[in-house]
Structure 1
Amino acid sequence: MGITSAWAISAHDDTVVGELAPWVLPLVAAERDDPQMQERWRRWCEAPLPDHRTWSGTPAAPAEAAALDAAVASFQRLTAGGEHVQQLYDGTDDGPCLMSDVWERDRSPERMFLSVWSKDYALASFFHAVGPRRAALLPGWCGTFLLTAAQVRATLPDIERALSFTPEERAAAEEQDWLDYAPDDESVLAGPLRQWRQAAEAGLGLCGANVHIR
């Protein structure tokens, strides 16, 4: 059976962020501190993956093919989100519900970036397209975070650096973003920066969540 994943970044005032903090922040910290996640992050930073079009079907020596398969699998596990963060969507006995208490809190599309994919991961395509140096500028862990309005303003320069490209850099990043967008879809290279800028201007905080929804 296939999966459906979502990477969402929603804007909220600091009252909502304060309500969410005791629930969200420990799960993000647990995911970040997981030794397996740290090892996957280290492997990717030390050896970023090649052009995604070479990941399968490209002739290679058996040892090279096995090494690439292992690196791709490790990267995919890193960017798929882990069991701690998944509790944000699955819920706990004493925790809020990501769908109703976060995503549906404000239905204005301008206050949310949402990228949903069947059998794919928006964050994986995003991280591969921008590379580890830029990805490391995002707060939280692998697309999941919770920021107050002040933290949004403080982190905006890093997000600007992560997602501002020369024409040549943008063309290269777009080639490595493998998601097949519909005409009205917002790309992973555009949506997060728009959301950060709008939240900073409006004095809002942000909640990011990289989870399976099915």
Structure 2
Amino acid sequence: MDQFSPDAEEGLFAAVARKASPFSALAWALGPDAVVRLPGWFGGFLLDAEQVRAQLAAAEVTLALTGTRRRDVGDRIHVWMTGLGNEPDHDADELLGGPLRVFRHAVGTGQGVAGHARWY
């Protein structure tokens, strides 16, 4: 991450956790019907600017949650990150908002987006 310019903050998002996969937590919390609307396969994708514009609406529907649904998804993320990982303070709101922020930034600046999930 040190290779990215400090002014690129809006276009970057990283979720890191000890002993748990943030993307897996997000997928479990959202459920299969929502996850299939996200690009790629388990957090891995590479989209050019046109593909990002085409995928933004699905990302909005999937991640821009409000009210009870957002609270329930946040609670499920917390359960996963605490039960399977060692991250009881993981920011569920950022896990929902970060990828969507990157998509919106890419559309606004005409850029592509890449996603990568690594588990080790």
> Is the contact between residue 38 and residue 59 of structure 2 (CA under 8 Å) also seen in structure 1?
yes
| % identical aligned pairs | 32
SS of 1:115 mapped into structure 2: coil
> Is the contact between residue 64 and residue 96 of structure 2 (CA under 8 Å) also seen in structure 1?
no
Name 1:47's counterpart in structure 2. Answer: none
Q: 2 CA distance for matches of 1:127 and 1:206?
A: 19
Name 1:148's counterpart in structure 2. Answer: 48
- 1:161 equivalent among 43, 57, 61: 61
Name 2:76's counterpart in structure 1. Answer: 176
Name 1:139's counterpart in structure 2. Answer: 39
Name 2:98's counterpart in structure 1. Answer: 191
How far residue 138 of structure 1 moved from its aligned partner, in angstroms, is: 0.9
- 1:117 equivalent among 4, 17, 29: 17
How far residue 182 of structure 1 moved from its aligned partner, in angstroms, is: 6.0
Q: 1 CA distance for matches of 2:57 and 2:44?
A: 18
**Letter of the aligned partner of 1:124 in structure 2?**
S
1:204 aligns with 2:104: no
Q: 2 CA distance for matches of 1:111 and 1:169?
A: 26
More strand by share: 1
Normalized against structure 2, the TM-score is what? Answer: 0.81
Q: 2 CA distance for matches of 1:186 and 1:104?
A: 26
Q: 1 CA distance for matches of 2:90 and 2:19?
A: 16
SS of 1:172 mapped into structure 2: helix
Aligned length: 111
Unaligned runs of 5+ in 2: 82-87
SS of 1:118 mapped into structure 2: coil
Distance 1:124 1:145, change over 3 A: same
Q: 2 CA distance for matches of 1:106 and 1:146?
A: 20
How far residue 194 of structure 1 moved from its aligned partner, in angstroms, is: 1.0
How far residue 181 of structure 1 moved from its aligned partner, in angstroms, is: 3.4
CA RMSD of the aligned region, Å?
A: 2.1
SS of 1:116 mapped into structure 2: coil
How far residue 128 of structure 1 moved from its aligned partner, in angstroms, is: 1.1
Unaligned runs of 5+ in 1: 1-98
SS of 1:124 mapped into structure 2: helix
How far residue 189 of structure 1 moved from its aligned partner, in angstroms, is: 1.2
Distance 1:182 1:120, change over 3 A: closer
> Is the contact between residue 181 and residue 187 of structure 1 (CA under 8 Å) also seen in structure 2?
no
Distance 1:136 1:163, change over 3 A: same
Which region of structure 1 is more displaced relative to structure 2, 141-150 or 109-118?
109-118
